Amino acid sequence: MITKERVESVLARVRPFMQADGGDIELLEIEGNSADVRLTGMCAGCPSAHMTLYLGVETALREEMPEFETLRLR
């Protein structure tokens, strides 16, 4: 089952680096087997950052939780 805690545990692996760069990745909500997140800080408006984080974090979430479906960046 997709829980906030399990998603947060994956986000916690990238968060220290993002915070060190003045940004963050914020979990907004879990909806079924998907999650909505928001990037804040310097990388928030950067299309490259969206692509790399989107691909990397979504893959990691699926490794942790095979039932995980979609990571949505808002």
Binding site for other proteins (CB under 8 A): 9-10, 12-23, 39, 42-43, 46, 48-53, 55-57, 59-60, 63-64
Task: Give whole-number Cα distances, 44 to 5, 8, 73, in Å.
Answer: 23, 19, 10
Closest CB to other proteins among residues 29, 63: 63
**DSSP string across 3-70:** -HHHHHHHHHHHHHHHHHTT-EEEEEEEETTEEEEEEESTTTT-HHHHHHHHHHHHHHHHHH-TT---
Q: Which is nearer to other proteins, 28 or 42 (CB)?
A: 42
* Least distance between other proteins and beta carbon 5 (Å): 11
Work out how close the CB of 29 gets to other proteins at its nearest, in angstroms, rounded to a whole number: 21
Nearer to other proteins by Cβ, of 13 and 28: the residue is 13
